[in-house]
Amino acid sequence: MEFDWGYFLSLFSVGAFWKACVTVIVVSALSWLFGLILGFFLACAKLSGPRWLSLPAEIYIWFFRSVPLMVLLVFVYNLPQLFPSTQSFLGIPFIAGLVSMTLTEAAYMAEIHRGGLLSVSKGQTEAGHALSLSFIGIQRLIIIPQAFRISLPTLINEYITIIKLSSILSVISLPELLLTGQRLYAQNFLVMETLLAVALYYVLIVTLFSGLFRFIENHLDLHRRKPQTLSEETCDALRSNLSAESSIEPDRVASSSSPILQLHAIEKSWGQHQVLRGVDLTVHHGEVISVIGPSGSGKTTLIRTINALESINKGEISLFGEAYLRCGTQQNKARVRAGVRRIGMVFQGFHLFPHRTVLENITLAPRYHKLLDKPASISCARRLLDRVGLLAHADKYPHQLSGGQQQRVAIARALALKPDIMLFDEPTSALDPELVGEVLKVIQSLAREGMTMLIVTHEMDFALSISDRIVMMENGVVQSDIAPQAILANDRSEPSLTRLREFMGVN
């Protein structure tokens, strides 16, 4: 029997097929959307700590990934036989098909979402914590947008799979493309012509939505966006506007003899490994303290305990004379977050938010905490960017900047909350040697302005030139806490300085 081309072409003007296309698109889109939402909550539940929450999610994902869709479809469609009250909605093929596909797709999408969430670096969460964002705020503003971008290609592929899986709905008499074709060739026996037309209808739908999703994916791909550097004329105009506005320099606490930060007998362990062994440290207003020591001495852990990135096993941390973090008691989350907001943190690895521009990175926290409205937060961000020499790069994304520029943006972001204390965790160790100087200049300018700072660093010459005190840590304890002048004095009568001078390379 010859292929009937005339009949084949006539099938593209059959209204039943186009109506079936709409059915396929609607049921696929709704299944994808509902599966996307349900799958996200399943992924969050599976990643959560409490076992009573993660275990049901694991069981759901395991079960619905194991059961064939056709088996589930027939079961759901016939469920009214067991529960007659469900006949009014599960007895409708469209609803039964939608429910079955959603239940199945949610299990698959949960794993896609989980992969996306796990792909977002831990540093992003830490950066959100350092800006005193709540857990929900971190997820909503930082983690989920990045995870969605990571997962998007796989989610798009899953939608294409759903479109093709919709052909299974023919087993419950839903008039989708395959069932419409089957009814036609059952009448005229032109099987090849009809199935080829059905295949082309599916190709048409898949091609249409592939193009749509490709456009969305390209729009969200930040690496496709060209760097937007402001012209010198634009920068001069912005500076003129900023100089006409009221000053928004960070507030400073009044100078007093009482310390603004005190660490009392701080201990920290991971299992049997004790990192901090009863550390005491007192910081007064305006002091610049450099924390040095060999790798593994506990320097980074020490400053991470100060803004609650690490819990303490023993001891207490006081901020402005009030207990802020204490071991052995239930922490008041509101009090801790209020304390964290007064402590700026600059990380070794920058931890800028890659899905936000430089300007948005800086305005995020002040707007989240309702410290400034949008226009005021933008003015503040531009002023800070000008202060660190990056005003022309305000509309760029972090990946379009050098390492030194990213670190200066990180400093500006921390300053946007007007902190009373700044913590620096080896701010130059991730930079090329030629980029170190531009970051150190910014830190030196903060020191001249009276900012209280704790700096973990391996830059010994810098530490000697900028610090009021140098604290050396070794084996989890403070070995020395002394002014740079005493180190440079080369006083041989002080044997306690011998190890410190050897480590710093001071002759």
In this prediction, residue 244 has a pLDDT band, given cuts at 50, 70 and 90, of low
**Greater confidence, 81 or 331?**
81
354 assigned to some structural domain: no
- Tens-place pLDDT, residues 290-318: 999 888 889 999 999 999 999 898 999 99
What is the Cα–Cα distance from 96 to 260, expressed in whole angstroms? 64
Label each residue of 128-160 as H, E or C.
HHHCCCCHHHHHHHHHHHHHHHHHHHHHHHHHH
299 assigned to some structural domain: no
Question: Residue 252 pLDDT more than 60?
Answer: no
Mean pLDDT of 255-261: 75
Counted domains in the chain: 1
**Greater confidence, 502 or 406?**
406
Mean pLDDT of 213-228: 88
Q: What is the pLDDT of residue 250?
A: 47
Enter the DSSP assignment of 169.
G
Q: What is the pLDDT of residue 330?
A: 65
264 assigned to some structural domain: no
Share of the chain above pLDDT 70, in %: 95
- Tens-place pLDDT, residues 314-356: 999 999 888 888 876 666 788 888 899 999 999 988 999 999 9
In this prediction, residue 420 has a pLDDT band, given cuts at 50, 70 and 90, of very high
Q: What is the pLDDT of residue 245?
A: 62
- Tens-place pLDDT, residues 154-188: 999 999 999 999 999 999 888 889 999 989 888 88
356 assigned to some structural domain: no
- Tens-place pLDDT, residues 179-212: 999 898 888 888 999 999 999 999 999 999 999 9
232 assigned to some structural domain: no
Helix, strand, coil abundance in the chain, percent, nearest 5: 60, 10, 25
Give the residue among 341, 276, 277, 280 at the shortest CA–CA distance from 308.
341
pTM here? 0.86
Give the residue among 462, 470, 460, 458 at the shortest CA–CA distance from 295.
458
201 assigned to some structural domain: yes
Domain of residue 121 covers 5-220
The sign of the CA dihedral 153, 158, 159, 161 is positive
137 assigned to some structural domain: yes
Q: Could you tell me the two tokens for 405?
A: 């520029």
Which CATH number do you get for residue 72? 1.10.3720.10
- Tens-place pLDDT, residues 105-127: 999 999 999 999 999 999 999 99
What is the Cα–Cα distance from 429 to 367, expressed in whole angstroms? 31
29 assigned to some structural domain: yes
Query: Rounded to 10 degrees, what is the CA torsion of 311, 315, 320, 321?
Result: 150
Q: What is the pLDDT of residue 490?
A: 66
